Structure formats: C-alpha cells, structure tokens
Structure 1
C-alpha cells in the first residue's frame, strides 16, 4: 500500500473526491478501501518561504528589538497555499504571532465568525504557545520567532514566585515545568545566559517535588508528565546528571503505577503526550528495558483506534484517532495522540522494531493528512470575519468557530516532530 502524501486542499473538495472515488469504484460507502494516500514529496523549509516576521533592521539583537518594540510583530507575505508539513506548522506559529498581545501573552480564545475574544485564559497554555515559538525559532533560525518568544517570556517570568528557600515557581508544578520548556529552548537558540539562574531555581523546584522512589509530591498525573518532559530539557540544557537521575526515577515510578495516572482511564493518551519524548531521550542515554515496554504500552492502543480506509466510511474522520472525549469525530485532539505515536516511532527505530515502526509510520501519515485538512488556510477560513488573521490556526473541529491558542500550539509542535522524526521534510536553518 502506498502511504500518505500530506498535502493541503480545501476540505469540501476532499469530501467530494472521496465520494466520487467510492461511487465510481462501486465501493460500499461503509468503507473507503479504495482510498490511497501517497508518500509525501520531500520538501525543505527555507528562507524563501512566506510569511515571515518583518525584522526591524535597525536593531542588532533580540533584546534590543524586544526593548524598543511592542507586539505583535508585523508579517510580510500571506499564506501562499503551498503544501508542506513544516510549512503548515510554521503557519501555526505565525497565527500565534498575529494574536500576540501588547503585554507579550497570546490571545487565547477567539470566535472567528464574530471576531470577538473571550476573557478565559490559562497560564499553562500561554507557556505552551511560548514553547511553540521557541521551538520554531530553534529549528528555523528565524528571528521573528525568537522575538515573539522573548516578549512572551518577559511576561511569563514577571509572574514567577521567588520562594524563601531560593526556589522559584510559576503557578504550580505544571506551570513551572511548561515555562522551563520555553526558557531552555530559547536560551539554547539565542545563547542568552541571562536567565540561567532562574532556570536553575525553577529546576530545583522540580527536583524537590520528587519524593521517595520517584513519586511526585505535588500536582496530578498530567503535571507529572509535564515535569518529566521539563527534566529532559533541563538535562539537555545543563548536562546536570541530577536531572537525568530524576527522569529515571519518576519515569520508572509511573511505569510501575499505571493506576495512579491517566493510563488507568480512557485518557491514557495524555500520558503518552508528555512522557514519551523525555523517556525516548532517556533511552538514548540509558537503554533501560522498561522504557520501551512502558511507551509501547501507552501508544499501541492509540494506533489501534484510528479511522483508516478499511474501517471507516466517513471521509471527514479518515486519519483521525478515535477521540471519545470529543464525540468520536474529526478533531484537533488527534494531535495530542499523534505526538506520542511519533515519539514511539523513533523509539521503535532505535530498537530495530521494524514491524512496529512501519505501523506507527503509517498511522502518523494518515494522522498528518487529517490534521492538515483541519487547518484554516487561504481560501478555506470557513466564514471568518478576518480571514487573514485566522490563516494558520487550527479549529477544534472542521466546523468549529472557536480558536484556542493551545489547539494551534499543540498541533504545530506535533507536525514539526512528525516531519523531522520521520524524515519527511527538512529545514534549512537561517
């Protein structure tokens, strides 16, 4: 079977084409067995791709520009309508750039059909959007993403609580962990060491939140996974073996105690989302046998519950994972499941598990196809009162009108990892 060519075309045309294929082949409309996804054409995301941030040439550094200017940064060029997984992810980052507030935070919830913003916000999701901008800056080298990250970090770090024992935190265990993702990525990309002391204080807060045998003493299961991912980033940034030891002890505790986490519920994908990346990194340093057992235990059920040509007759669901919490239809929550699948693919390759790697790869390609159809693109902004503003964002469902920053940042992150880990595309860093 040929696999997915992950290109973007308007959703209405996709649905019509699939219907014609099914009818023309005499296929029972309860299946799409004649649907074929081709291998994606290899592309390189480079400096010629538009849009891009309008970098003010009079400022030599990110710090100077951040001091002198107020967000949002203006963009040059529109969505060109071109194909590309990394291009789609970058558009997500440019959507976040367009909705960045003057204080550095990101506009959180927007109704695309009325043009109104909701007051609802959450610091954890602001941290997540900041990490997306930092990740795009680190991978592409585009200064606009670095500037967007710097503005966001200034706003976020102004809300950090300095504690009497020399530690620091943001809101709670999860907020602290998510802030660290953006801080460490930004520091590595820019070479700016001015926040290293703060990174150390926040990192020590995580370490002192770990009790006997690796159990976290603060937060709940979702925050434990976020903290585990931050520990991995801290080790990469500092080389401090204490973070590696903490990854091993906390990861092993989660492996031994599925009943204490989301793994014991129908939301086990939330553990895969957060723990797969750091444990895959840990496996590269310490190839412990419990790591693949744990990650495949989390990920195999996700892959097994996907709408594929042999088991669905609904073109809109094709490629999406079964997401009962979202009604079982086409939904952005496929991205939350896909990220763990992509990490699982990389681990399967490391272990030489060819059969599982092929299964995860096929699953990834179908999910990429589904998520790219869901994105708002030029010519398919679905009744938006400001079409240019919403280009690049992901709604929650194909007909959804509410745009949340976390939906776009999670999906963009996942597409970046999928394109690079599966070597479907490359980036020519500036």
Structure 2
C-alpha cells in the first residue's frame, strides 16, 4: 500500500517547516532495505516532488522512501588536511568536480553504503587518471547540510514520516532509564541467539552495507562476549543464555587454546596473548570455578598467566612471540583482574601478594604514561582487591583514575548530539579513536567506581560517576540497531538488530562492541538511572 502523497506532504511540511526545496532532492525507494530506485528529483514544491517519485513503477513495491534535501551550499578545499572529519559523515551532501566529471554524495547514501565521501572523491580521481588522496586538491568541492527523512509507504499506523539525523534518530538522555538499559541488554542477547553458530561460535565482524561477514577474528574480543554471556546468564529466567554461554566458552577453548604441556595460552593469528589467556581463565573461573569440566584447561591457563608475571609486579604481555612486550595498557589489567577474581575465589595469600605487587607496579606506570585504555581493567581489579584487603591505597587509585577518565567524556555543543557521551580527546591519537567498544569498556570501569564510591559514602563522587554512566549509556543506545528506522537500508535486519554499530557514522558490527556493552550492563544489575 502506497501512502498518499498529499498526507506525506502534510507531514513533511509540518516536520521541516518548508513547502518546497530550492535544490534537487535525493530519493531512494526501497523494499525491506533493498534499493529499487535511486536518483535526484528536481527542485520544486514538496507535493510535486513526492508525487513524481511515487508515480515511478518501483514505488508500487517499495516499503520506504528515503530523502535528503541539501540546503545552503558552501565551497571547501577537498585537499585540505581536515577536509573530511569523521564527525561530518552522514550529515552533509558533498559535491565534487574533476574536469568535466562531477558527483554528488548524499548523507543518507554515506550511511547506507558506509562509504566515506573522501573515498568517492578518490574513485572519481582515479577515473580521471589522477592519484587518490594526493590529487584531491585538483578537485572542486562543495558541501551542504541537508534535511533527511524516512517515509513509510507500507500503510504503517505509526507516523509515516520520520525525520532523520545522520540516518537515525537522536537518543535523548532522558530515555536512559533502568527499563531501557534492561531492554538494551535483552536486545543484545536476542542478537546473540539469532546469530550464534551450531557449535557455539559467534561472528566477529559483519558489514551491513555489504551484507557480508568478515573472515577476520580476534580471540580477546571473542572472550569479551563469552564473559558477558556468562554474567548475563546468571540472571534468573535466562537459562537459554546460560547454556549458550557454556557452549560458547567450550567452543572458544577448542578454537584458540594451545596446550604447551605445563601451561597453556590462547592464540590467534600466530600470537599467544597474555590478555586472552587471562580472560579465558577468568571466564572458566566465573562459569564453573577451578574444578569444573575445564579444570585442566584452567590450571594450564593460570600457569600461562603466572609464567608472564615478573618479580617487580610487571607482566610480559606475549607468551609468543617472546620479544613482544607491548599492549601494557591492556593485557596486564586483564591479568590483574584475573588474579583479583582468583583470590576472591580461593583466598590464596600468594595470589594476593602477586596482585598487590602488580598494583603498585602499574600505578607507577599509569602515572608516567596516562592512557584511558588502562583505567577500566585496573579500576575493576583494584576495587576487588580493596574489598579483599581494605587497603585504602587501592580505593584511592580507583578514584584517581576514574576522576581523570570522566574528564575525557564528550558532552554538549558544538559536537553533534548523536555523538554525546562517547570518550574522545581530539589531538591525542595515542588515546585511540572513539567507538562503541571503548565507550563500553570505560563504562565497565565506571560502574565499578560508582559502586565503590556509593558504598564508601563518597556521595558527590558517586553522582559524578553516575552521570557519566548515564551519558555513556546514551551513546551506546545511540549505536544499537533497534528498529526499521535505523535499519532502513539493511536487507537482513536479523543480522544487526540488537548489535552495536562501531560509531554513529560507521555501521560496522563488531563483537567487541557488544561484548563490552554486555559487561558494562551486567556490572550495573541494580543501578537506578533515575535523576537524583
């Protein structure tokens, strides 16, 4: 059923406050995500433009019509170093001219194809036998902000016109409630159940625009999801998730564990990583303890972690290649978290002694080399060790790290509102790019720090952390695929619904995006998100 063009025009005029657009309008007719027709419609009254598109034969089969209407154009230099900031992808229509050739790149097309405008320009340069990137200055460039909308053509009873912002809707902070946090978790678990293989394996990367799975893999990121499933499966009523977690853990041990005789390590792409080995041991410990079905694997993985510990408290971060000792902001924190959990489980004094020596070693490291990636793992480990010992040095270090981390969270204008709540420091590439997985892991540490501040009577600091958590959850909710609106260009929605895109302008689905979000949400089982 094709919606009446007059009704759609009424909604358009009400939603955008204009009866006509002075520039051509980009339109795409789709049937359940598949593009049937795409093209530009001449400037003119909204009613005329809609009638023109809906008269096309493809409209009889279409379920949605997307449009992007450029407003004021301004020239820019495509060869400038900052010509294509990621934050502008999906917001602007870009126009490029090289010689007699020109191309327009609508913002909704950028989102739907996951192809940055700069790559479109480089393809145009190549077609003119010019060099990509280095010859961008030879192109003329213009860009324009654009109205964006999705029109439902399938007789839906909900509003048929949905204004879009970067091909999506902006999630408000007021929507981050306890119920919505629970719904986010439920949607993530639904994605897992819909996409798990028969042997318990989970896909690592999916490209929605291509409709393809990646052949790449990463053992640490696989294990993050495993650990998140184990914790989520403990909740009453989630027996199916608990069973899936057991199958997924067993599969990952089969796929990645390398038995070295008196110890073991988790290997991926030819590397035996301390972080993966520690996370696998932690997953077994949380799933079944030290004497369960995987007791032998646990003992050898624990021995693998022990082999990498040094007398000064530091860790060698790769079992092989032995000469590698980087990733110091990641793997030692994962190993220390394992030691903290192991001591909580067994009470072994020697484990506690090792953990405390590592705490002091890496506290000094972080003070010399501050990096946000360091914070969440060490915050969780130090909080657990504080509960075991009452040593206030541990609590104070959690506070020190977390107070610094919250200053790195982005909030407010001039940043686009769909990016609010992420953690990013422009000008510090060593801190890493903003993306769902980093926001998720920072929330893991923040959740622990919030609980610690609340339980120790540090009310003001707890409220600061709580606000940062709400803002971070807003960011994750923005990145979660949830409905036919943000999947309007996806022909296989079951492969993305409930999963998290990497950024608002990058729809790549990665397992660590979901894994860290699972761990963050399960670190907040009783968190009240209402305003204080």
TM-score, scaled to structure 1: 0.72
How large is the Cα RMSD of the aligned pairs? 3.0
Give 1:305 deviation, angstroms. 2.6
- Provide the aligned length of Structure 1 versus Structure 2: 348
Alpha-carbon distance between aligned partners in 2 of 1:337 and 1:406, rounded to the nearest angstrom: 13
Residues 328 and 181 of structure 1: CA distance in aligned 2, closer, same or farther (over 3 Å): closer
Q: Secondary structure at the match of 1:278?
A: helix
Alpha-carbon distance between aligned partners in 1 of 2:441 and 2:164, rounded to the nearest angstrom: 24
Residues 332 and 176 of structure 1: CA distance in aligned 2, closer, same or farther (over 3 Å): closer
Residues 264 and 14 of structure 1: CA distance in aligned 2, closer, same or farther (over 3 Å): farther
1:372-413 C-alpha deviation (Å, 9 max, x unpaired): 122101223252221123110000112322111111111221
Moved more, 219-228 or 327-336: 327-336
The residue aligned with 2:362 is: 254
In terms of fraction of residues, the more helix-rich structure is 1
1:276–1:340 Cα contact (<8 Å) kept: yes
Q: Secondary structure at the match of 1:308?
A: coil
Residue 350 of structure 1, aligned match among 412, 430, 455: 455
1:401-426 C-alpha deviation (Å, 9 max, x unpaired): 211111111122112323x263449x
Q: Secondary structure at the match of 1:110?
A: strand
Give 1:366 deviation, angstroms. 1.6
Residues 170 and 138 of structure 1: CA distance in aligned 2, closer, same or farther (over 3 Å): same
Alpha-carbon distance between aligned partners in 1 of 2:407 and 2:173, rounded to the nearest angstrom: 19
- 1:180 and 2:276 correspond: no
Q: Secondary structure at the match of 1:139?
A: coil
Q: Secondary structure at the match of 1:401?
A: strand
The residue aligned with 2:417 is: 315
- 1:389 and 2:472 correspond: no
- 1:109 and 2:217 correspond: no
- 1:206 and 2:305 correspond: yes
Give 1:240 deviation, angstroms. 3.1
Alpha-carbon distance between aligned partners in 2 of 1:373 and 1:123, rounded to the nearest angstrom: 27
The residue aligned with 1:240 is: 348
The residue aligned with 2:182 is: 86
- Aligned pairs (5 A) from 1:396-407: 396-407=502-513
TM-score, scaled to structure 2: 0.59
Alpha-carbon distance between aligned partners in 1 of 2:206 and 2:194, rounded to the nearest angstrom: 12
The residue aligned with 2:323 is: none
Q: Which one has a bigger Cα radius of gyration?
A: 2
Residues 329 and 182 of structure 1: CA distance in aligned 2, closer, same or farther (over 3 Å): closer
Residues 321 and 157 of structure 1: CA distance in aligned 2, closer, same or farther (over 3 Å): closer
In terms of fraction of residues, the more strand-rich structure is 2
Q: Secondary structure at the match of 1:170?
A: strand
Residue 293 of structure 1, aligned match among 386, 396, 413: 396
Alpha-carbon distance between aligned partners in 2 of 1:203 and 1:328, rounded to the nearest angstrom: 32
Residue 155 of structure 1, aligned match among 222, 235, 251: 251
Q: Greater relative contact order (Cα 8 A, min sep 6): structure 1 or 2?
A: 1
Alpha-carbon distance between aligned partners in 2 of 1:229 and 1:298, rounded to the nearest angstrom: 16
Residues 151 and 297 of structure 1: CA distance in aligned 2, closer, same or farther (over 3 Å): same
Alpha-carbon distance between aligned partners in 2 of 1:177 and 1:36, rounded to the nearest angstrom: 37
Q: Secondary structure at the match of 1:403?
A: strand
- 1:417 and 2:507 correspond: no
